[in-house]
């Protein structure tokens, strides 16, 4: 690329004298990028203000924007430190992938970075950290510091306390950004009780270049050719927003968070907190103690729009999830279980919604030699004092797993949305009852096929009797 030179001091700083004061100009003139309107505002805010917080819709380009800011900060001051952090190392690596990409387009030949480190000098470098140990932040100090917290809604309060220790001395700027899916904590406080000290921004999908100027009414009526228009292909698309509105509805907490960039107003009668669901979206934790046995949950759907879904877990780690829209899913289910059978773990109980068409699926899988347990949502619970039926008991068992933070690998977005939309009530006798599918559909909620497969994957297996003969071919144990 023309005009590329090795990074040296002070020559390159002279080359940058007209751009280093302004991160937007730096992004355009030096890095060859063209940030859109709100990205420019956030870059400018992070340069002017000590504390900047951003809540954003899905796929708004916030991580790419932060990479531009990180490279600007390294060039801005002779003694500068950039720290990027996120809840997981995988998320930190995403940020550093964007830094590496921005570096490749730069007019300045930055040194080759390591996986999560870029060093321009002894007192000028950037580093990526992901840790639950706040002590690891304590050794980082410089005259000028930029801290970029990506997916900030998932960062522990103890880490924010360590960040405050860094902020105690020097010129320190903080940019934290994320999806507003978690209520409470340091991130939400920046938009609430601590708003006076933070410069805040909100990015809705309708602010982005692909949807700017559109109303939801116009979008819902839009033909296919117009849905495909995307001036910024890497940002949230028109089609995705339309699909989310149709699938989730405008009042669903996931729609508010991932489309509008707003904290969800989740009902007090929601079975599962969105914060618990978000926490469970981490990488599958196969290092946690478990018995090495797979439990499978299968929700069976007949012909139509509903899905047949299989979810497999080992301990609290979800290791597989598949969904099919087929009139007869027996073949694909048997094949999926066969793939699991050939893996590193032993297949244990296979819990199948055995009402209606599910009965034939259950008997078929029993014929294949699997230890099948029939799940009947309307049957009596093991604990009739606290639950109306087996459905309520199984849903509450999953709630306990989620509340304790024992689940990982819950990464499917549709499953997350279905779980977040499920509600319950207490009967006059004080027992838990899950909202019926019919009532949920009146609220605009889709059939929770994926959620129910997860519920069955985590259901307690306590057979009431050794076996029950459903026909002459197979014995299926009820839960």
pLDDT of residue 334: 95
pLDDT tens string 275-325: 899 889 988 877 777 778 999 999 998 776 689 999 999 999 999 999 999
Instruction: Tell me the CATH class for 274-478.
Output: alpha beta
Distance CA 363, CA 474 (A): 6
The helix (H) or strand (E) run that includes residue 374 is strand 371-375
Q: Are strands 124-129 and 80-85 parallel, antiparallel or unpaired?
A: parallel
pLDDT tens string 220-265: 999 999 999 999 999 999 999 999 999 888 988 889 999 999 998 7
Q: Where in the chain is the domain with CATH 3.40.50.300?
A: 5-203
CATH number of 5-203: 3.40.50.300
In this structure, how many other beta carbons lie within 10 angstroms of the beta carbon of residue 150?
25
pLDDT tens string 328-374: 999 999 999 999 987 889 999 999 999 888 999 999 999 999 999 99
Give yes or no for a contact between 61 and 207, defined as CB atoms under 8 angstroms apart.
Answer: no
Question: Is pLDDT at 109 greater than 90 in this prediction?
Answer: no
- pTM of the entire structure? 0.74
pLDDT of residue 472: 36
Residues 6+ apart with CB under 8 A from 54: 42, 62, 175, 176, 177, 178, 200, 201, 202, 203
> Hey, which residues does 317 pair with through a beta bridge?
314, 408
Contacts 24+ apart (CB under 8 A), 260-263: 260/57, 260/204, 260/205, 260/206, 261/55, 261/56, 261/57, 261/60, 261/179, 261/180, 261/202, 261/203, 261/204, 261/205, 262/55, 262/180, 262/202, 262/204, 263/55, 263/180, 263/183, 263/188, 263/191
Please give the C-alpha separations between residue 195 and each of 52, 138, 148, 198, in angstroms, as whole numbers: 10, 26, 18, 5
Q: Where in the chain is the domain with CATH 3.30.420.240?
A: 274-478
Distance CA 297, CA 402 (A): 17
Give yes or no for a contact between 43 and 119, defined as CB atoms under 8 angstroms apart.
Answer: no
Give yes or no for a contact between 81 and 140, defined as CB atoms under 8 angstroms apart.
Answer: yes
Q: Are strands 51-56 and 171-178 parallel, antiparallel or unpaired?
A: parallel
Chain mean pLDDT for the chain: 89
């Amino acid at each position: 690329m023309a005009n590329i030179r090795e990074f040296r001091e002070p020559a390159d700083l002279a080359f940058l004298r007209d751009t280093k004061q302004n991160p937007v100009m730096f992004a355009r003139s030096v890095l060859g990028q063209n940030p859109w309107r709100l990205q420019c505002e956030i870059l400018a805010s992070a340069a002017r203000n000590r504390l900047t917080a951003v809540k954003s819709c899905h796929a708004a380009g916030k991580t790419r924007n932060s990479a531009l800011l990180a490279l600007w900060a390294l060039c801005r001051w002779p003694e500068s430190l950039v720290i990027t952090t996120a809840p997981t190392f995988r998320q930190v690596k995403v940020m550093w992938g964007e830094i590496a990409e921005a570096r490749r387009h730069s007019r300045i030949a930055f040194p080759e970075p390591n996986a999560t480190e870029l060093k321009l000098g002894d007192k000028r470098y950037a580093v990526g950290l992901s840790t639950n140990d706040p002590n690891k932040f304590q050794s980082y100090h410089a005259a000028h510091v930029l801290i970029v917290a990506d997916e900030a809604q998932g960062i522990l309060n103890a880490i924010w306390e360590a960040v405050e220790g860094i902020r105690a001395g020097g010129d320190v700027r903080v940019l934290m950004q994320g999806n507003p899916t978690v209520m409470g904590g340091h991130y939400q406080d920046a938009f609430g009780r601590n708003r006076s000290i933070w410069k805040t921004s909100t990015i809705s999908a309708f602010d982005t270049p692909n949807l700017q100027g559109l109303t939801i009414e116009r979008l819902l009526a839009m033909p296919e050719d117009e849905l495909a228009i995307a001036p910024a292909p890497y940002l949230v698309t028109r089609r995705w927003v339309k699909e989310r509105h149709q699938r989730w509805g405008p009042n669903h907490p996931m729609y508010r968070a991932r489309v509008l960039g707003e904290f969800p107003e989740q009902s007090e009668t929601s079975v599962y907190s969105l914060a618990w669901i978000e926490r469970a979206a981490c990488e599958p934790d196969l290092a946690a103690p478990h018995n090495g046995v797979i439990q499978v949950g299968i929700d069976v759907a007949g012909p139509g729009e509903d899905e047949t879904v299989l979810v497999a877990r080992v301990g609290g780690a979800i290791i597989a999830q598949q969904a099919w829209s087929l009139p007869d899913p027996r073949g694909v289910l048997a094949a999926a279980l066969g793939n699991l059978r050939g893996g590193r773990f032993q297949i244990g109980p296979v819990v199948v919604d055995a009402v209606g068409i599910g009965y034939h699926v259950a008997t078929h899988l029993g014929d294949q030699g699997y230890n099948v347990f029939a799940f009947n949502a309307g049957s009596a619970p093991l604990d009739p004092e606290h639950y109306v039926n087996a459905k309520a008991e199984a849903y509450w068992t999953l709630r306990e797993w989620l509340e304790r933070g024992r689940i990982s690998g819950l990464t499917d977005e549709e499953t997350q949305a279905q779980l977040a939309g499920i509600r319950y009530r207490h009967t006059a006798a004080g027992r838990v009852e899950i909202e019926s599918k019919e009532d949920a559909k009146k609220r605009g909620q889709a059939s929770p096929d994926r959620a129910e497969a997860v519920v069955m994957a985590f259901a307690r297996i306590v057979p009431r009797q050794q076996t029950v003969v459903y026909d002459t071919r197979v014995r299926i144990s009820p839960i």
